[in-house]
Structure formats: structure tokens, C-alpha cells
């Protein structure tokens, strides 16, 4: 491998203590390997699921269905109703009918329902984690330690807001918006449902939720929780399906607000469709978030942040730190560490408790990632794929990788890949780092790594991103608002700011 400093003939101080290829290596190939430890909890999955409308599971009016599969095995998990405009209409009507009574409940009673949902999610956490892993392909350690606990935390947090809204907006009296249409993606299926539903319900709205086509199962199981805790019928309605159901929800005149998390492409269509209709809109869209490592950073911990930033959830993260900017003087040291760290990642059965990298969610997404890998190859970039795990025979898999030699104009430095693919670039001065980091149509998140406090605040203040993580990455808390600049969307989710999207003042 050519080192960064060898690429620059004018740089004379080019000896790196840990430059790859000139030193002893680390071997992870394993005399002592971890034995398989598949999660043993068995989860009942029905052969068939309908929409959840007005407190009951109902078939699609058209009778249409689609299959949802386990992307790690390509086995069909269940058959789910395919929603059309008629189903959406029924769901919106149910939500409309339920809304006045829900909003008229004493606020602390609404809070109690949310507390019950949160507690029940905790009690059934293992079941939800296994189901999410099967439907999505992400590792069980992530669903167990991140997705499900955070989903419960969002319900807990917003349960607390329900009876304090009068104090949230400086004396203004918040009113519910009405019926909220909420369209969520497949990368964090249950967590995104929680992000959407919890604040809406706390503020007295009723909801029609459209889960992603490839991952409807945990939202439908959440509907079972609603039944268990006695949530009034119609307060939350779930219509499963593809883009057709989503479009019908966006266009339905009975919807007062649309909240969408997904691609920028679809987000733009939704913005166009809702323009001039009076519908409130929040969009949480794509990203191409930078991680910036300065030479005075704690390097090993910065590398951990980079690994977590781009390889967590197979890179299916809207705020994934997909662009890495490293100060040139430490570029070789950082790249060598990323190489070694990638070698130690375990790719395979998502239900195995030691799996770090699971399956790609769908054949379609794998195709998208593969096209980007091809484009990078065609543009002459160097691909590093040090992880030696064998890819399983069945299912959709992508070995985690990174590219060096990347310039800001290269496709993989500009477009969102939504996969385990990192583009490594270098810089020499802070000004150059800021310019390059902001040189994107997106602005969702950023990471800054330096041990110098004054630099942290100077750089963070100049990055155009909704969230800037300092010496950490991918930190989430329900109390902290999340959202984007530019083509990453508008509106915030979480925290006091997140409530704004669900009230009229």
C-alpha cells in the first residue's frame, strides 16, 4: 500500500512508526475462536399480518399481500398486507375519529399510556430484539443494546412531557396538530416508530404509521403492545405496504402533518406533494457526514469512533460517518489502525451474540452498494477490504471496506451509499478540513476528534450539521434533538425541539 506521505514527493519527513507493510503484523485468525452463541429465544411469527386499524388487525381491502424476508437467510418470515389508498383512508378516518377524545384526556393520563408502552417494551425487549434482527439483518447485540432500549427510552421520555407541555413553549398554549402521517425507514424499524409515535402521542395527536416495506414486523408487534396496554382504538394505526401506501398517506387530505424519515429523493417528492396544502412537514433525510481527526486527537479512540460511525448497522445509518478526514501527519497511523480494527470485526449470523456486522437489509440495497463500489473502482480508487470473514452462502452481505485516494469530487465522497463503505481523505489545515467537510449537499451529523478544547468549539461551530459529536460518535438520547441542514431535511426529533413538530402554538 502506498502511504499518504509517500504520495507526496515534497514531503521529506515520511517515516511513520506504524506504517503498514513495514512492521510486524497482528494476526486475528484465531487459535482461540469464539464458539457460535446464537440467541436462543424463539419468537412466534404469524403466517400472516394485516394492517392495524382502529384497534384491530384487518386485511387489505384489495386483498393484496407481500412477503417479508430474513435478509440473512432469504427465508420468508411472514406475509403482510399491502396497503393501498383505500386502506390508508380507513386508517386516517380511524385516527381522525379517535383524535378529539385522545387530545381531551387529562395530559397525565396520556402520559400513563406512554409509560405503559415503554415498560411493556422493556419487558418484551428480548423478543423485540430477536424479531428486529430477523426482519432487518442487523446484529442481535445492536438490537439488544441499542434499538430496543432506545425505543423504550423515547416512550419514557415523552411520557414525561405529556403533562408538562404547558411549560414547554414559554407560556404559549400548545394544541395538537391532529392526525399525523408517519413514514419510517428500514434501518431502525422499531426505534424510528418510537421516534415518531412517542412525541406525537404525548402532544395529543393520533397517528397513521407506515413502516418500511422490508421491515414491518416489529411495528406490528408494537401494535400488540398497544392492545395489551389498552391504548384506545384509532390512536395509532399502522398500514403496511410500499411506496404506494406512503404516497397515499402523504396525499390524503385528512392528514394534518407528515413526518418522514428516508431518502432525500423521496423527501423532495413529499415536500412537493405537501406544498400549499397546509400540512405540517418534518423531513429527516440522507447524509454524508464527516468525521474529522486532528493530529492532536486520541487516535485509538478516534478510530473507535470512525468504526462505530460507519460500520454500525452495516452503515445503514442516515448519520453514518461515511467521509473521514484525517490530518495528513497522522493519516498512515490512522489507516493502519482502521485496517487492524476491520480485521477484528466479526461478520456473520446476525443472531449470534458475537456478530459485529450483520446482513445487508435487501437485495435492492446490496445492489445500490455494489454499484457504488463499482463506481469507485472505475474512478481509480483504492479499496481496502482487510476483513477475512467468509461471507455466508445465503443472504445479502457486504464486507466492510474503506477507500483511500478519495477526492471531494469522487462519487463515493458525494453520494449517500448507506452501506459499510468509508471514504478516507486528508487535510493539512483546519480551514481545509472545514471547507471539505461542508462541501456536501447534506448536513446531518459530524464528528470532530481533537484533545484541544478550544479547537473543538471553533470547528464545531463552523460545521453545517444538525448534530456535531465531539470526541465521540453516534450518541443518542431522547432528550437530544436530531435533524439536519440542507438536503438532510428540516425539523428536529427528540428533546424539547422535537415537540415543536407535533404542536400548534
Partner 1 sequence: MVQSPTINRVMADERAASFTKRSIKTKAKDAGLRLALSMVDLTTLEGKDSPEKVRSLCAKARRPMPDDERVLGERLPHVAAVCVYPAMVPVAAEALEGSGIHVASVATGFPSGQYPLDVRLRDAERAIADGADEIDMVINRGAFLSGRYDAVGEEIASVADVCAAGGPGGRGVHLKVILETGELETYDNVRRASDIAIEHIRDGDFIKTSTGKVSPAATMGVTLVMLEAIRDAWLGSGKRIGMKPAGGIRTAKQSLHYLAMVKETLGDAWLTPELFRFGASSLVDDLLRQIVKRKTGRYAARYDFGVA
- Rule CB under 8 A: which residues touch partner 1? 17-18, 23-35, 37, 141, 145, 296-302, 304-305, 336, 344, 353-354, 451, 471-472
Between CA 38 and CA 172 the distance in angstroms is: 52
Concerning whether 389 is annotated as a catalytic residue, the answer is no
* CA dihedral for 389, 189, 475, 433, sign (positive or negative): positive
Contacts of 190 (CB under 8 A, 6+ apart): 128, 132, 147, 148, 151, 218, 219, 222
Residue 495 C-beta: closest distance to partner 1, Å = 21
Concerning whether 284 is annotated as a catalytic residue, the answer is yes
Residue 377 C-beta: closest distance to partner 1, Å = 29
Which is closer to partner 1, CB of 32 or CB of 409? 32
Contacts of 461 (CB under 8 A, 6+ apart): none
Choose, from 180, 318, 319, 401, the residue flagged as catalytic.
Answer: 318
Residue 300 C-beta: closest distance to partner 1, Å = 5
The SS3 call for residue 214 is coil
The SS3 call for residue 14 is coil
Nearest to 418 by CA among 369, 363, 472: 369
Is the separation of the CB atoms in 324 and 425 below 8 Å?
yes
Is the separation of the CB atoms in 441 and 458 below 8 Å?
no
Is the separation of the CB atoms in 468 and 446 below 8 Å?
yes
Residue 302 C-beta: closest distance to partner 1, Å = 8
Which is closer to partner 1, CB of 10 or CB of 13? 13
Choose, from 142, 284, 415, 416, the residue flagged as catalytic.
Answer: 284
CB atoms within 10 A of CB 477: 13
Residue 456 C-beta: closest distance to partner 1, Å = 12
Residue 326 C-beta: closest distance to partner 1, Å = 14
Which is closer to partner 1, CB of 317 or CB of 417? 317
3-state secondary structure string across 42-73: CCCCCCEECEEECCEEECCCCCCEEEEEECCC
Count Cβ atoms within 10 A of the Cβ of residue 393 and give its class: 0-12 exposed, 13-18 middle, 19 or more buried.
exposed
Residue 328 C-beta: closest distance to partner 1, Å = 17
Contacts of 63 (CB under 8 A, 6+ apart): none
Query: Interior CA angle at 172 toward 168 and 175, to 5°?
Result: 85
Which is closer to partner 1, CB of 148 or CB of 247? 148
Residue 446 C-beta: closest distance to partner 1, Å = 17
DSSP string, 112-177: HHHHHHHHHHHHTHHHHHHHHHHHH---HHHIIIIIHHHHHHHHHHHHHHTTTGGGTSTT---EE-
Which is closer to partner 1, CB of 79 or CB of 470? 470
Between CA 154 and CA 115 the distance in angstroms is: 10
Which is closer to partner 1, CB of 244 or CB of 328? 328
Count CA within 13 A, CB hemisphere, residue 76.
9
Which is closer to partner 1, CB of 298 or CB of 497? 298
CB atoms within 10 A of CB 26: 11
Which is closer to partner 1, CB of 32 or CB of 390? 32
Q: Which residues are catalytic?
A: 284, 318
Amino acid at each position: 500500500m502506498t502511504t499518504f506521505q509517500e504520495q507526496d514527493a515534497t514531503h521529506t519527513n515520511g517515516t511513520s512508526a506504524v506504517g503498514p507493510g513495514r512492521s510486524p503484523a497482528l494476526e486475528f485468525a484465531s487459535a482461540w475462536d469464539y464458539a457460535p452463541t446464537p440467541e436462543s429465544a424463539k419468537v412466534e411469527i404469524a403466517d400472516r399480518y394485516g394492517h392495524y386499524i382502529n384497534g384491530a388487525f384487518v386485511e387489505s381491502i384489495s386483498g393484496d399481500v407481500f412477503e417479508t424476508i430474513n435478509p440473512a437467510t432469504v427465508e420468508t418470515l411472514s406475509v403482510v398486507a399491502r396497503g393501498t389508498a383505500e386502506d390508508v383512508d380507513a386508517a386516517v378516518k380511524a385516527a381522525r375519529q379517535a383524535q378529539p377524545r385522545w387530545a381531551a384526556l387529562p395530559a397525565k393520563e396520556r402520559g400513563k399510556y406512554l409509560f405503559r408502552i415503554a415498560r411493556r417494551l422493556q419487558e418484551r425487549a428480548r423478543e423485540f430484539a430477536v424479531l428486529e434482527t430477523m426482519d432487518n439483518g442487523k446484529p442481535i447485540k445492536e438490537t439488544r443494546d441499542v434499538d430496543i432500549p432506545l425505543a423504550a427510552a423515547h416512550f419514557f421520555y415523552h411520557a414525561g412531557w405529556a403533562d408538562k407541555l404547558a411549560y414547554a413553549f414559554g407560556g404559549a398554549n400548545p394544541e395538537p396538530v391532529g392526525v399525523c402521517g408517519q413514514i419510517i425507514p428500514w434501518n431502525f424499524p422499531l426505534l424510528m416508530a418510537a421516534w415518531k409515535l412517542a412525541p406525537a402521542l404525548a402532544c395529543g395527536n393520533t397517528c397513521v404509521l407506515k413502516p418500511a416495506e422490508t421491515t414491518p414486523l416489529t411495528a406490528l408487534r408494537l401494535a400488540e403492545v398497544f392492545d395489551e396496554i389498552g391504548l384506545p382504538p384509532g390512536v395509532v394505526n399502522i398500514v403496511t405496504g410500499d411506496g404506494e401506501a406512503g404516497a397515499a398517506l402523504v396525499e390524503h387530505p385528512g392528514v394534518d402533518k407528515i413526518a418522514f424519515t428516508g431518502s432525500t429523493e423521496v423527501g423532495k417528492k413529499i415536500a412537493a406533494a405537501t406544498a400549499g396544502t397546509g400540512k405540517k412537514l418534518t423531513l429527516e433525510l440522507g447524509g454524508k457526514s464527516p468525521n474529522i481527526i486532528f493530529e492532536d486527537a486520541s487516535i485509538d479512540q478516534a478510530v473507535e469512533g470512525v468504526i462505530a460511525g460507519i460500520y454500525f448497522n452495516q452503515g445503514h445509518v442516515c448519520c453514518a460517518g461515511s467521509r473521514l478526514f484525517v490530518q495528513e501527519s497522522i493519516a498512515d497511523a490512522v489507516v493502519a489502525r482502521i485496517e487492524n480494527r476491520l480485521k477484528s470485526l466479526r461478520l456473520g449470523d446476525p443472531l449470534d451474540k458475537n456478530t459485529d456486522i450483520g446482513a445487508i437489509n435487501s437485495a435492492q440495497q446490496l445492489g445500490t452498494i455494489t454499484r457504488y463500489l463499482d463506481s469507485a473502482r472505475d474512478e481509480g480508487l483504492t479499496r481496502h477490504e482487510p476483513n477475512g470473514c467468509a461471507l455466508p452462502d445465503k443472504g445479502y452481505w457486504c464486507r466492510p471496506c474503506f477507500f483511500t485516494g478519495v477526492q471531494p469530487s469522487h462519487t463515493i465522497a458525494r453520494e449517500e451509499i448507506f452501506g459499510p463503505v468509508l471514504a478516507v481523505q486528508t487535510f493539512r489545515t483546519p480551514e481545509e478540513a472545514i471547507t471539505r467537510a461542508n462541501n456536501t449537499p447534506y448536513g446531518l451529523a459530524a464528528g470532530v476528534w481533537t484533545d484541544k478544547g478550544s479547537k473543538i468549539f471553533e470547528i464545531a461551530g463552523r460545521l453545517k450539521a444538525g448534530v456535531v459529536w465531539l470526541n465521540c460518535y453516534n450518541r443518542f438520547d431522547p432528550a437530544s434533538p436530531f435533524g439536519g441542514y440542507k438536503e438532510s431535511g428540516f425539523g428536529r426529533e427528540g428533546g424539547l425541539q422535537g415537540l415543536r413538530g407535533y404542536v400548534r402554538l
